[in-house]
Structure 1
């Protein structure tokens, strides 16, 4: 079992924060987070491109190259793998592993189950040690069909997924039921309106991702700071110093 895989099998769920650049990843690692993931929304927004449209392959790989040698374990949000061809997805996964990534997140977008399972199998063939987090969007994009969710996750586990991800599922009873039906660890997307980390731990969740939350809050804080200053108010919240940020840059 790889070090990243072991983080999913401790007594507590892995809280996985999602960074969007070198500084944000290093700042999170400095706070003691052993693993950091990327978020596809931030990669796309930073490039002026739409998220989930399979158009940020190069940007995603470039960020992985920047972060792959950092003092943390890196998992990469690769949308649906940037291709419908399983072999091309496998090759992209191999490239991620080559630059230091230890995990990959692949979403099904409610597409064909067999097609997504084939992508997962191709990744495990091309990069056997890469930890595959297989995401289904039955709650994120659909209506939360429990039977379809389990059908999809069963197929993804059978294809070799190391962990399964159901963003948008926040009901404690449904989460607990799903945990009992799976043999792979369950990943839940944290929501400020959903169960807190301690409750998710008690339900048996083994990984809690923050997704784009940190990036969106950072954007919100930037706008709030500018409008506070314009209105004559003193900006609130913590602010790293210039030297703090320079220190992160020097850790390359």
Structure 2
């Protein structure tokens, strides 16, 4: 089965997002067939703003470390770390050469606006022309960058343009209403990816709405921060650890020899 075949409406791929090798190896050992990366986790680990251009090299380095895993790897490249479609395509080709099977390419900008539609389509066309085999998950932030999301039709207008440009899948983070999710999954000719939101719909709920991929985004990274901080505070407070970690030897066993 290839990576695209894992995207099945009604039986969604749960894609955990990682920022370093150890967690990815731990998840693959537990049976996950694919992992994605998280731009926030990679950027924060490098001490940089989320998606900053200077994190391009950290993203590539992570992809290179993950190539030894027996799993599909999809990489979050934010906005491509460039406004130049040719440079974005060159990054996609570099990642594909490392064994990466998919990329996540978003239209949200740091100032909260959306990239010009034609320009974003040019990026997608450049990537798909350079690496036709790559699964391009085109993300639109119509529902992510605002507290007052528009009609789902606004997201679908962008999504359909991205599909026409060559996108393999569509990611609409922030889509919450059941009617909107179902409408999007029914309207699109490619797999719909949504972001899991704690306290919201379960994986089973999303499956019933026709979702084909569920990403965890930065959630694992943020939970890891909380768990690590709590482990330190537990020692300081003289209480038991709230999470049982894998042993030193178990972690070592996950690493390349």
The TM-score, its normalising length taken from structure 2, stands at 0.94
1:239 aligns with 2:235: no
1:144 aligns with 2:149: yes
Kindly indicate whether the alpha-carbon contact (under 8 Å) linking 2:51 and 2:77 is maintained by their aligned counterparts in 1.
Answer: no
Structure-2 residue corresponding to 1:101: 100
Q: Deviations over 1:129-152 (max 9, x none)?
A: 110000000111133222321111
Pick the aligned partner of 2:177 from 171, 176, 179. 171
Structure-2 residue corresponding to 1:112: 116
1:134 aligns with 2:138: yes
Structure-2 residue corresponding to 1:27: 26
The TM-score, its normalising length taken from structure 1, stands at 0.96
The worse-fitting range, judged by mean Cα deviation, of 5-14 and 176-185 is 5-14
Structure-2 residue corresponding to 1:12: 11
Kindly indicate whether the alpha-carbon contact (under 8 Å) linking 1:179 and 1:205 is maintained by their aligned counterparts in 2.
Answer: yes
Displacement of 1:173 in angstroms is: 1.3
Gaps of 5+ in 2: 109-113
1:249 aligns with 2:255: yes
Q: CA RMSD in A?
A: 1.2
1:156 aligns with 2:162: yes
Kindly indicate whether the alpha-carbon contact (under 8 Å) linking 1:54 and 1:80 is maintained by their aligned counterparts in 2.
Answer: no
Displacement of 1:55 in angstroms is: 2.8
**Taking CA–CA contacts closer than 8 Å with sequence separation of 6 or more, which of the two structures ends up with the larger relative contact order?**
2
Kindly indicate whether the alpha-carbon contact (under 8 Å) linking 2:10 and 2:209 is maintained by their aligned counterparts in 1.
Answer: no
Map 1:31-42; keep pairs closer than 5 Å.
31-42=30-41
Instruction: Give secondary structure in 1 for the equivalent of 2:193.
Output: strand
1:197 aligns with 2:180: no
Kindly indicate whether the alpha-carbon contact (under 8 Å) linking 2:10 and 2:208 is maintained by their aligned counterparts in 1.
Answer: no
Number of residue pairs matched by the alignment = 250
**Partners of 1:96 and 1:199 in 2: CA distance:** 33
1:11/1:177 CA distance change after superposition, 3 Å = closer
Q: Deviations over 1:107-146 (max 9, x none)?
A: 0011111111111111111111110000000111133222
Pick the aligned partner of 2:235 from 229, 232, 245. 229
